[in-house]
Structure 1
Amino acid sequence: MLQIFVITFPFFALVLCGYLAARWRMLPLEAIPGLNGFVLFFALPCMLYRFGASTPIGQLLDIGVLVTWMISALIGVAFTVAFSLKARLGWNDASFGALVAVFPNSGFMGVPLMVALLGAQSAGPVILTMVIDMLVTTSLCIALSRLGGADEHGAAKAFKSAIKGVLANPLPWAIMLGALVSVMGWAPPGPVTQTLGLLADAASPVALFTIGAVLARAQMLASAGHARSPALRDYLPLALFKLFVHPLLVWLVGSALIRLGLPLSRFVLAVMVLTAALPSASNVSLLAERLGADNGRIARIILLSTAAAFFTFSLAVALMV
């Protein structure tokens, strides 16, 4: 366990640094969107491009990962939406609660952390799960979030919003470009490769630092009365679902499909379970705010799952590796 903490500690320590920097006003809150923009549009796409270009195409198109992750996500979304609707939350809040409960922080945290723990061969499955969550799970939850609207054209608008969000997201494009380079055997000129490498190397530390700053900002806004403070029962169950039920669900679905003959190795299943054990994706908060959901609730789920994941994720690694 101590060896696991040695690997995971720097990742969570960077999140804490960003959190404290924002809380202590060493980092102006107005600068956080700029950090987000740098990570989302420059550093992280370069890192994912590099992984996509260096990962065998078979790992990026693994049918076992695709089926297992999609089934787990659909079950998780159905369960958490039903739970939230039963708690008298509307479709908008229920849908984004479901998204934050099944969408791990695989981009900002998952890829570098898994590579550090399990080696470069773990990058392919993590990247594929991230693509599924960005293209399928997010689009599904956006569509569900519009069901509570009175506008009779809500479904059409939801579909257009989902498509527009997917097309505007640079991360899937970076992965696909890297995969294309891998298949075609192309190589950018040396100076271009070095520039991409510098940006890619900056992705992990800046992204982790930014996660902490975003979480601190959400908490500070809630404390100042600029955002509603949700009841504990509205966010604690979903944080627990993310950290405990989601990885267990992936393990159960994957194990059942392996017994049914699905081509899925135990190593890849372990990578998927550990990916599911990551805290909630911080970008869900930005999406929830844009579409009018209770962002204070979403931010609490992300904050709680990120803080607790230092211990729960390390425990998951000890059990799976």
Structure 2
Amino acid sequence: MQQIFLVTFPFFALVLCGYLAARFKVLQLDAIPGLNGFVLYFALPCMLYRFGASTPIDKLLDPGLFITYLICALIMLGVTIAVTLRGRIGWKDASFGALVAAFPNSGFMGMPLLIALIGPAVAGPLLISISIDMVITSSICIALASRSAGESQGVVKSITSALKRVAVNPLPWAILLGGAASATNFNLPGPLRDTVDMLADAGSPTALFTIGAVLARSQMTVLGGSMPTARRFDIPVIVTLKLLIHPLLVLGIGYIAIALGADIGVVPLGLLALVAALPSASNVPMLSERFNADTGRVAKIVLLSTALSFLTFSSAVVWLSP
């Protein structure tokens, strides 16, 4: 356990550094979108491409893991909405609460952290989860949010809008290009490969630092601003669902599938559960703000799950790592 903490500590320390830098205005809030843009459009796509290109294609196209994670994502959405859809929480806030419960921070945090802990073996489970969460889970939640009173866009239009957002997101394309390079044994020319490697290497520290800065900005501009969030029972419930129930659900559904004869390896299943044990994705508050949902509630969930995951995720690594 001590060895795991020694590995995970620097990653969470970088998140804390970003949080403190923004909180004490060493990093100006208007500089955060620039950091976010660098990670989203340059560093993280290069990390994903390099990750996919160096992984055997059969590991990236594991139907057993794909279906297992998809079923778990749908169950997480349904359970979270069923638990939280009451009182002042309507479809819009229930839907974004479900998204923050089912969408782990697999890109900004999971990729650098899991690579450091596990190595290249985590590539398949990690890229499968990112693909499902960015394309399917997010689109479903945005469509469900359209059921909120006063929405006139309609479910079909909401789904179309969500898919358009996915189409301009560079991360799915980086995964596809990396998978294509793996399938065809394509290698980038030397100078271009070196450029991609430099950007990819810069991704881990910048992404983790940016997570902290984004969390601090959410707390300063939403939680402490003109949109206070009332104390709600569902915040600790959703954090528990994310950090504990989600990975246990992945293990449970996976072992049931194995018992029924599915071709799923125990080690890849454990790695997929580790991905599910990550804290909530830091981009969900920005998405909820764009749709006029209760961003303060979502930001609290992300902040709390990130803080607690230092203990819960490290414990999961001890239990689940091969």
Range of TM-score over shorter length: over 0.9
Alignment identity in percent?
Answer: 56
- Cα distance in 1 for partners of 2:29, 2:153 equals 37
- Cα distance in 2 for partners of 1:4, 1:175 equals 28
Deviations 1:9-50 (A, max 9, x none): 111010000001011110000101111111000100000000
Q: How does 1:190-229 map to 2 (within 5 A)?
A: 190-229=190-229
Q: How does 1:1-321 map to 2 (within 5 A)?
A: 1-151=1-151, 153-321=153-321
- Cα distance in 2 for partners of 1:163, 1:224 equals 33
- Listed as ranges, the gaps of 5+ residues in structure 1 are none
Deviations 1:244-293 (A, max 9, x none): 11111111111111111111111111101111110000011111111111
CA offset at residue 88 of structure 1?
Answer: 3.9
Q: Secondary structure at the match of 2:252?
A: helix
Asked if 1 retains the 8 angstrom alpha-carbon contact of 2:223 and 2:296, the reply is no
- Cα distance in 2 for partners of 1:291, 1:223 equals 17
TM-score (norm 2): 0.97
CA offset at residue 240 of structure 1?
Answer: 1.3
Asked if 1 retains the 8 angstrom alpha-carbon contact of 2:19 and 2:212, the reply is yes
Deviations 1:140-178 (A, max 9, x none): 111111012434541122122111111011100001011
Asked if 2 retains the 8 angstrom alpha-carbon contact of 1:230 and 1:296, the reply is no
Asked if 1 retains the 8 angstrom alpha-carbon contact of 2:125 and 2:271, the reply is yes
Aligned length: 321
CA offset at residue 225 of structure 1?
Answer: 2.1
- Cα distance in 1 for partners of 2:316, 2:56 equals 27
Coordinate RMSD, CA, aligned: 1.2
- Cα distance in 2 for partners of 1:78, 1:94 equals 10
Asked if 2 retains the 8 angstrom alpha-carbon contact of 1:111 and 1:127, the reply is no
- Cα distance in 2 for partners of 1:307, 1:131 equals 25
Please list every run of at least 4 consecutive aligned residues from structure 1 whose deviation after the TM superposition is greater than 4 angstroms.
Answer: none
Asked if 1 retains the 8 angstrom alpha-carbon contact of 2:146 and 2:153, the reply is no
Deviations 1:173-205 (A, max 9, x none): 001011111112222211111111000001110
- Cα distance in 2 for partners of 1:246, 1:230 equals 26
- Listed as ranges, the gaps of 5+ residues in structure 2 are none
Asked if 2 retains the 8 angstrom alpha-carbon contact of 1:250 and 1:276, the reply is yes
One-letter amino acid matched to 1:245: I
CA offset at residue 227 of structure 1?
Answer: 2.7
CA offset at residue 307 of structure 1?
Answer: 0.3
TM-score (norm 1): 0.97
- Cα distance in 1 for partners of 2:190, 2:275 equals 33
